[in-house]
Amino acid sequence: MFLSVIRIVFLLACICPSMTYAAIAIQQSRVIFDGDKLSQSLLVINQNPHAPYLVHGWIEDEIGKRVQGPLLILPPIQRIEPGENSQIKIQALTAARLLRQDRETLFYLNLREIPPRVKGGNTLQVALQNRIKVFYRPVGLKNRELASPWHSQLILTRRDNRWQIANPSPYYITLVDAQIHQKGSQIADFTPLMLAPGSSEMLPGNISHYGHAPVFTYLNDYGGRPEVTFKCGKERCNVISNRVPRS
């Protein structure tokens, strides 16, 4: 009997996530928090037309640890009526001035939906959670971003039979796709990755998978997907164009 109960719980855990959907949605997929701002507001939507939901919000640092500053979510808990919109605010404390001013700092915004209590037993409730990136961008970087497109600074360097990609810029760069050349086939081994400022990563697969003019797609500040095209020699590849593909 006890083993049967365990099997039932396991099956529910496997099946129910595919049958549920998030009631609470955030309007944005990422946040750029400019260093000259004291706060920034985001639209939050209750997509359930029948039930109110509580929303619990908090901020985590780049390693996923919950923090009480220098950025806060206000209000930390609120109720959103069925089918209604509301706002949450990311508030900067004075300690934000102590963050590094020569590079971006990464945080995560978390919103957990709390469904209304259902009367009666034999009901499984699943609380889902949204998590998006928040990039704190110091004032000095905000002022120089248009003058020097940082995605064009990416470099591929040969390491044995693989490419190492380096991000010498002070900005986070998220690569989501790769092709062997413009309008070419996707590189099968490639998996999305985020490069921290001044960091480098080894790309999956060997050099031959990327050809002589690989094209990488990245996420910009607005969730768009521009592309950067490289030209490769035997030991190194450099960006030769940075463009937004036509829809």
pLDDT, tens digit, for every residue of 100-109?
999 999 999 9
Q: Tell which residue, 39, 124, 118, 26, has the closest CA to residue 74.
A: 39
* 130 within a domain of the structure (yes/no): yes
**Domain end among 120, 143, 166:** 143
The domain total for the chain is 2
How far is residue 67 from each of residues 36, 114, 153, 175, 224, measured CA to CA in Å? 21, 21, 32, 27, 29
State whether 94 and 42 are in the same domain.
yes
Are residues 192 and 213 both part of a single domain?
A: yes
CATH number at residue 169: 2.60.40.10
- One domain for residues 64 and 155: no
- Residues 44, 92: Cα–Cα separation, whole Å: 19
Question: pTM for the complete prediction?
Answer: 0.84
Same domain assignment for residues 159 and 128: no
Question: How far apart, in whole angstroms, are the C-alpha atoms of residue 31 and residue 221?
Answer: 8
Asked if residue 118 has pLDDT above 90, the reply is: no
Q: 135 with 32, same domain?
A: yes
Which residue segment(s) compose the domain that 96 sits in?
A: 22-143
| Together in a domain, 37 and 131 | yes
**140 band by pLDDT with thresholds 50, 70 and 90:** confident
Domain boundary among 81, 112, 143: 143
Residue 187 and residue 230 in one domain: yes
E strands along the chain, which residues? 24-26, 30-34, 39-46, 53-61, 66-67, 71-74, 77-80, 85-92, 105-114, 129-137, 155-159, 162-167, 173-179, 193-195, 199-202, 215-218, 227-232, 236-243
Condensed to tens digits (0 to 9), the pLDDT of residues 74-110 reads 999 999 999 999 999 999 999 999 999 999 999 999 9
Residues 179 and 192 in one domain: yes
Examine the domain organization and report whether 113 and 163 are in the same domain. Answer: no
Give the length of the chain: 247
Distance CA 194, CA 247 (A): 24
Give the alpha-carbon dihedral of 56, 57, 61, 66, to 10 degrees.
-30
- Domain edge (last residue) among 143, 170, 205: 143
